[in-house]
Amino acid sequence: MAPDFIRLADLLREVPPPPLLAAASQGEAVPAVRDESACAASDLRDALRAARLFRARLADALDEARATLLREIAIAVVGRELALAPCVLDRIVADAASRAPVVRVRVAPCDTTGIDLALPVVGDASLAPGDVVIELEGGAIDARLGVRLLQVLEAFA
């Protein structure tokens, strides 16, 4: 029979030590039974400190991994959705064109027919499907899918 599942958080939660060990971990004087006891108390204090440091580092690593994992899951979900229903680039370009004069629109070669606006559209092999770079008179708007997704993820972070 397989052992029951134990969550890592439950495994690492603090368990109150026996009174002698608690005194040693707090730096309090421990009754001297023998010299070995003093060494053991010191070793115990060091071990408890190392365990606390390990626990703190593990918690930090889990927090960092959680953010990365959530970002990767979001990218995978959006990528899958775009495979099922491609991005409507017309709206992105029309929104930019309503705010500033557009000189040229660069998209992935497979998306060149997806923009039905009276603007010059150029296929750019360096762009992935769903990416668009809108060139203006004074610069460019990078509206690649990854950039747009990162803005959404940062807004909810």
Segments making up each domain of the chain, as ranges? 8-83, 87-156
State pLDDT tens for residues 12-71.
665 555 555 555 556 665 555 556 666 777 888 888 888 999 999 988 888 888 878 877
Residue 74, number of CB atoms within 10 A of its CB: 15
What's the token pair of residue 49?
């400190």
Which residue type does 30 have? V
d(CA 153, CA 87): 18
State pLDDT tens for residues 59-106.
888 888 887 887 788 777 877 776 666 677 888 888 888 888 899 999
State pTM to two decimals: 0.49
3-class state of residue 155 by DSSP: helix
Task: Strand 139-142: give its sheet, edge to edge.
Answer: 121-123, 102-107, 132-136, 139-142
